[in-house]
Every structure is written in structure tokens, then in C-alpha cells.
Structure 1
Amino acid sequence: MNNVARHVIRAAVFAAALGAAAAHAASIKISCVAVGQELEFCKATAEAWAKKTGNEVQVVTPPNDASERLALYQQVLSAGSDKIDVLQVDVIWPGLLGNHLLDLKPYTKGVEKDHFEGFIANNTNNGRLVAMPWFTNAGLLFYRKDLLQKHGQTVPVTWEDLSASAKKIQDAERAAGNDKMWGYVWQGRAYEGLTCDALEWVASYGGGSIVEPDGKVSIRNANAAKALQMAASWVGTISPTAVLNYAEEEARGVFQAGNAVYMRNWPYAWSLAQSDDSVIRGKVGVAVLPKGGADGRHAATLGGESLAVSKYSKHPAAAADLVMHMTSAAVQKDRALRGSFNPTIGALYQDPEILKANPFMGELYGTFTNAIARPTTVTGPRYNQVSNQFWNAAHEVLSGRSRPNDALMRLEGALNRLSRGGKWQ
């Protein structure tokens, strides 16, 4: 055989090998939300997996608004579409989307036992593990350490303390020339974020969980009304009227620009506040959210995100492998160090590097493990309607269009109709 023939055969063998590799390579479409640094981190981790495995990834950016993102997912999944292989899902969605998601148990090799037990239970639908926990969340109070010290204030224990402290510092700073200063910023838009904030207020005053575990609608009570009235008193006084259209990033924008004393947000805001280009770097403290009066409790809504695989994916094994990579201990540690994303793996809360980068993760560990859940389990597929009714009622009170008692009476009626006599499922 001459050299030319050998080259031809080698080329043919090489081409065949390439063809086989191409045939086995998968192109996985993953949805990555763009709140804060999420998109950047998600994209980089997915691309690292693709490089390691020889597959391809395409990043799809869904709406940041959780309600809009859920609607998009429901539309895509209901159509049986393979437009998205890996979905970033909110902690409240496994029950809503579970029937459309792949059981990941055959792909986990048992690592789910390393994650918070409650989160794994949350992601289990009819015995199927439909999502792997990625990061956990709980509402936190961020505050300007320098401004509290300057004006002789301590970290507020109750919402009444916060209202007084925020007003005092806001007025003093404005008198000194900063007319953009506000006392408190939070999430007041009519969306799922307001459900999180308002549930914290209601629970902190002992006003229940909207719908109790036994299915009873409990939201119409004096403590819930008191909580909403307190929050409404902030609008236009210590909070800008524009807060009624704030989501997480709008609140963070005001706080990180140095124009707010206090902020309610999720842990991701910490690393951004501490970034090199942040004007408040080194000036921020983090604490538990205030109690509802002296007899109240500290209450933080449980949040967090998981990764799931659509059962309509053409490459389920590759998609599941990507999910296992992105939710691994190594990736969760990297995200905690660089982006202050709270891990869902308990052992990482003992990691000295993580605790040095995010002191609050150790100090407020109980806040994350004891966070209050939204009533997703009891209301099942109707949760989204329940939340929609709740956030709209809260928004009516905050905007001054309704009194608390009237709004809660209408909300109670709407939820009782939804429950069909307490039978949610």
C-alpha cells in the first residue's frame, strides 16, 4: 500500500471518528436567569461542563420575573417542546411542573443525601426526584453599618424599631445634603417577590401562613391586617412610592448606590455590595429580618433555585449530567465564594473559606434552615393562583387602594372558592 492510499484511509477513519463523536455529542439548552451575577456564573459553569464532556451548551435567558418565567415554562412544557433541556426552577415549582420533569434519581449516584433534607423533600414529586437543589435563599435585612454608627442606632429588632431608625437616619442624611436617601427599600411590585415579603410581615406578627397545612384559609385575621398596615405606612415615608414597582434588582440598585439605609433582599446582594466598584463596599451589615412587635417572631421566607430536566429533552442523560455537575459541591462552593449563593449542601457551611467570604452564612445559619415555606405543598397546582391573589391584595393595601381588613376579607373569599371547600388537591 502506497503512502497516498494510507493517507486516504487515515483521513477516512479520522472523518468517521469525527462523525461518530458528532453523533454522540449533545447540544443542551439551559435556562439561566440574569438576576445579579447569576447569568455570568451559570453560563461559565455550563460551558466548563461542555468543554470537559465534548458536548455543547446553549444558554437561554428567561424573564427575571418569577411569574413570567413560570408562565414561559408552562407554555413550553405543555406543548411537549424540547426548546429547553435544563430548567432553572424556583423552590415553589416542583409541585406545579413535576409531571413534565425527568426523574433524576437514576443519575444522582446517591449524592442527594448530602443536600438539605427538606429541600430534597420539596423537590420530590410522587416519589420522583424532579429537580436537584442548586442554592437556597432566605430573606435578609441588609443595613449600612456606617450610617447606623454615625447616627447612634442599633440593628432593629422589631419592624417598629426599623421604621423609627430608618426615619431618623433618612431625615438626618437629607438635612445634610443627600436628598436621594431613603430609609428602607424592598420588593413591592405585584409579583411573587411581594408574596415573599408580605408573608414575612404576616408571619412575623403571628398572622399565619395564608393557607395552613390542614388546608384552612387563615389570612383574614387581625395580626395579618396589622402587618400589612405597618408595611403600607412605609410607602412615601421611609420607602419611595416607586417601591410599589420594585423587584430585587431595583431595590439593590438604590441600596448599592448608597441611597438607602436598610434593604430586604436575598443573599446574592452581599457579594455585589462588596465588589470592588461598589460605593458601599465594607459598609454593609446583614441581619435577620425584624420581628412583628415585642411578641412577634423573626420570619424569613424560604427561597432558592434548583435545576431540572425536561422529560421532552432529546438528550436526557447528557442534560442530567449537566445538572449533576452544576449542583455539585465544588460548583456550589465556587458560587458561594464568588457570588454569595447559599449552598444546599450542609457540609459547606463548615468550610472556612466560605465562612470568611460570607460571615453571615455561619452567623445566620438558623435563618436558612428554619425559613418559612410558602403554602405550596397544601395548595398544590393551585399555588400560583393563591400567590397571585395574595400579592394583589397586599399591593392594594400598600398602594392605598384598599384597607387591610377589606382586602383580606376579599382575599379570604377568593381563596375559599379556589380551595373548593378546603380540598386543594
Structure 2
Amino acid sequence: MRTRRLRGLAVLPLLASVLAACGGGEGSGPIAVNWYNFPDDSGALQKAADRCSKASQGRYRIVYHKLPRAADGQRQQLVRRLAAQDNSLDILGLDVTWAAEFAEARWIREWTGAAKRQALEGTLRVPVQTSMWKGKLYAVPYNTNTQLLWYRKDLVPTPPKTWAEMLTMARGLAQKGKPHFVEIQGAQYEGLTVWFNTLINSAGGSILNKTATEPSLGPPAVRAASVMRDMARSPAADPSLSNQMEDQNRLAMESGTAAFELNYPFVYPSMKANNPALFKNFRWAPYPRVDANRPARPTIGGIDLAVSAYSRHAQPAFAAALCLRNRENQLTAALEGGLPPTLRGIYDEPSFIKQYPFGKEVLAALESASVRPLTPAYQNISIAVSHTLSPPSGIKPESSVRTIRDQIDNALQSKGVIP
């Protein structure tokens, strides 16, 4: 009996330490607001969490939890925990394609009232679209991203304005035995869908109609598929095109074998660090047009912050999310983490302009950018597009578009959320 009592007493300190680690009860200190987001190696996200915890003056403390590095892994973890109604999730860092799906599943809360007004104030219009579903706001844009055309000025004194011009320049360089590849994402994954989405929107079309109830496609889709096929079958195509993602594109450009690269701004500091000699001739320009008389509409990326429907601390979570994406924290994320901001005013900030000499082009691209189809069925749609268009050299524009249309019809009829 005495031994059993001693064991029970020994458990008490352990139990107390576990409770303390979990944040204790409401009266034991600041509420722990759990923020789940992509893993950040720069430290910018942790700085934001620390700043906002301090600014709350004891109301809450933000605990930053790192999701898996790959987007698919991030989504899988969130979906499983939300489906189980896990109430330990408060703020969710959502890829810009997930808000519609999560809102339709009733996993995230609508933004209303003062919180909504603050979320929209000064925020770029196109990123806000990624946070909307059925006319309601379900997240606040945290950061955004878009591609530019990167090129070597020693090979191309004047950058091309259209895809046709770029392929002609690449052929000319190839004939002279000079680096001539156009690096772009051709692997069978989300990047291939983004390439197609950018081209179809740049050609005046879209993947879905305005109500996201049926495929749109049509002649602009055939034009987009034709550009992809022509690129893949030209001397401009890297032999590894069908296996390349963003990082492989970056490495190929840094190795000196390419003249052009369609990629995100992270390639700029990477080139500066990894190949200073080539960096001297590393330049940027707007994304090339499909038609000379239509502006390019590159597809945006980024992260939106949502509040879980199962959060026990919804009001502090809304306040914390607004703080995490305020001017100071977005500027830090841009300067230290390389994440383009969603607040328009930051693009005029001297420190931002100094580190982002291409900021003007990024802002122009964002103001005319396109978004990926806003629908709960997006994952199925993306798979249909990337599978049908892979490898790009095998694209048959008209029949490939018909296949995509049929598969999207099926995807839009599906019930529930993809596991």
C-alpha cells in the first residue's frame, strides 16, 4: 500500500510538468495560440510569432509549429487533423489553393466585421481572391509570390516580350553554340498546372468558368497547350524538362547552361551567393506574353492564414493572425525570408526596394496576375491537368484539352474532400 502511494505521489510532479508544457488552464498564463505553417529556415516566422506574443501584452502567446516541407505533406497533415476535429489547431497556413476546399468542408471560420476590414485594408486585390469562397472571406493573405522572366544580359541584351520571341532567341543562341535553354517547370506536378494556368489566362481564357461550375478552356486552352508543346520540342527545351521543378531550374541556370528562366524571386539571392560571376549579368523582365496585344497573367502563389473552426481560442487567433501579417512582419518575411508581401504599401518601402530591385516588376505582375481555379475540387483538377500534359513534348493540343475537359467534368461532380 505504501509503495502504491509513493508511486502516486511521484506521478504528481510529472503530471504538473506535462500540464505546464501544454500551456495550463485559462488562468495559468497567456493563452497558447498554435500556428501551423510551412517550415521557415530564415527565422522570420518565429520572429513574427515572438513580436506578436509580446504585443498582445499577456493575452496570448503564439506557438509556431512547422508543417512538412512539401505542400502535399502540409495539406495531408491539416486535412487529417481537421477531419478529426482536432481543437489544438488555431491558425492555419494554407496554400492559396486550399481556402475553397477547407471552407466548403467547414473547417475554417469566416472573417467578418472589424477583423475582415483590417484584413482587406491595403491588401493587394489578386491575393485576396485566393482567400475567398462564395463571396465570403475565409483567410487573410500572409504572403504572395509570382514568377518573372530571368535572363542573361551577356547573351540577351534585350529580353523577349513574347514566348515566340523567346523561342526564336533561344534557337539563334543554339545555332551559335551558346547557352540557350529556357528553364521552366515541366515535371508532372503542380508546377506544370501553374504553367498551363498562366498561359491560358494570358491567352484570354481560364480553366473554369466564373462560377467554378464547369470547365471553360476553349481556344485559349488550345493556344496554351500549343505553346507548351512548341517549347518542349524546340532547341530551347532542357533535356531534363519533363523532370524539372523550380529548384532544378535554379541549379541549371546557375550552372551556366541556360539563357532564360521562368521562376520565382528566390533565384536572385541564390544566384548572387552561388555564382557571383554570372550574377553580374543576371537580369529580370516581365513574364513573356502569349499574344503581343495581351498582358501576361502569371499565376500567383503564397500562403493565406485561416482560423480553424475547432479552435478553442478563435478571437485571440483572429487577432494573432492579423498581427502576424502586419507591415513589420511582412517586411521582415520579405527581407529575410524572400516572401513577397501582400500589403501594397511595402513595395514603396526603401529597405524593400533596395533588396528587391525587381520589386516594381513583381508588383506589376501581381496586379495583373491570375489565380488557380477556386474550387473545392482543385486537387483533382490539378492532377488532371498535370497528368494529361506530361510530358510536355507529348502534348496534342486539341485532344489533350478535350481530355482535360472531360476529367474536370468528372472532378467537379465528385463529392467530399480528397484524402
Instruction: Give the TM-score, by structure 1 length.
Output: 0.78
Distance across 2 between alignment mates of 1:197 and 1:261: 19
Give the deviation of 1:329 after TM superposition: 0.5
Give the aligned residue type for 1:141.
L
Instruction: Extract unaligned runs of 5+ from structure 2.
Output: 1-19, 415-419
Distance across 2 between alignment mates of 1:416 and 1:109: 34
Is the contact made by 1:183 and 1:262 (CA closer than 8 Å) also made in structure 2? yes
Give the aligned residue type for 1:73.
L
Is the contact made by 1:289 and 1:298 (CA closer than 8 Å) also made in structure 2? yes
SS of 1:133's equivalent in the other structure is strand
Residues 108-141 of structure 1 deviation map (CA, whole Å, 9 limit, x = unaligned): 3842222224534542446754322112222211
1:178 is aligned to none
In the alignment, is residue 224 of structure 1 matched against residue 229 of structure 2? no
Distance across 2 between alignment mates of 1:57 and 1:142: 37
In the alignment, is residue 131 of structure 1 matched against residue 139 of structure 2? yes
Give the deviation of 1:355 after TM superposition: 2.1
Is the contact made by 2:141 and 2:304 (CA closer than 8 Å) also made in structure 1? yes
1:96 is aligned to 101
SS of 1:147's equivalent in the other structure is coil
Which of residues 46, 50, 53 is equivalent to 2:49? Answer: 46
SS of 2:279's equivalent in the other structure is coil
Residues 204-234 of structure 1 deviation map (CA, whole Å, 9 limit, x = unaligned): 344x10122154523243x433432332343
How many residues are treated as equivalent by the alignment? 385
Residues 349-373 of structure 1 deviation map (CA, whole Å, 9 limit, x = unaligned): 2223322322322245332111122
Distance across 1 between alignment mates of 2:348 and 2:377: 38
Matches within 5 A, 1:397-408: 398-400=392-394, 402-408=395-401
Give the deviation of 1:106 after TM superposition: 6.5
Instruction: Extract unaligned runs of 5+ from structure 1.
Output: 1-15, 175-180
2:162 is aligned to 158
Give the aligned residue type for 1:95.
A
Is the contact made by 1:349 and 1:355 (CA closer than 8 Å) also made in structure 2? yes
Distance across 1 between alignment mates of 2:206 and 2:305: 26
Shifted more, 121-130 versus 290-299: the winner is: 121-130
Distance across 2 between alignment mates of 1:39 and 1:82: 29
Distance 1:118 1:273, change over 3 A: same
Give the aligned residue type for 1:326.
L
Give the deviation of 1:327 after TM superposition: 0.2
Distance across 2 between alignment mates of 1:304 and 1:20: 35
1:5 is aligned to none
Instruction: Give the TM-score, by structure 2 length.
Output: 0.79
Give the aligned residue type for 1:132.
V
Give the aligned residue type for 1:262.
F
SS of 2:284's equivalent in the other structure is strand
Distance 1:121 1:310, change over 3 A: same
Give the aligned residue type for 2:398.
N
2:115 is aligned to 108
Matches within 5 A, 1:1-400: 23-34=28-39, 40-50=43-53, 55=61, 57-64=63-70, 66-82=71-87, 84-98=89-103, 99-105=106-112, 108=115, 110-112=117-119, 113-120=121-128, 122-125=130-133, 129-149=137-157, 154-169=158-173, 172=176, 183-206=181-204, 208-213=205-210, 215-221=213-219, 223-235=220-232, 237-275=235-273, 280-376=278-374, 380-396=375-391, 398-400=392-394
Residues 242-265 of structure 1 deviation map (CA, whole Å, 9 limit, x = unaligned): 332322222223223444221111
Give the aligned residue type for 1:307.
L
Give the aligned residue type for 1:71.
Q
Distance across 2 between alignment mates of 1:295 and 1:128: 34
Distance across 2 between alignment mates of 1:258 and 1:156: 19
Is the contact made by 2:254 and 2:275 (CA closer than 8 Å) also made in structure 1? no
Give the aligned residue type for 1:137.
N
Residues 310-356 of structure 1 deviation map (CA, whole Å, 9 limit, x = unaligned): 23234444444432222001111222333443221122222233223
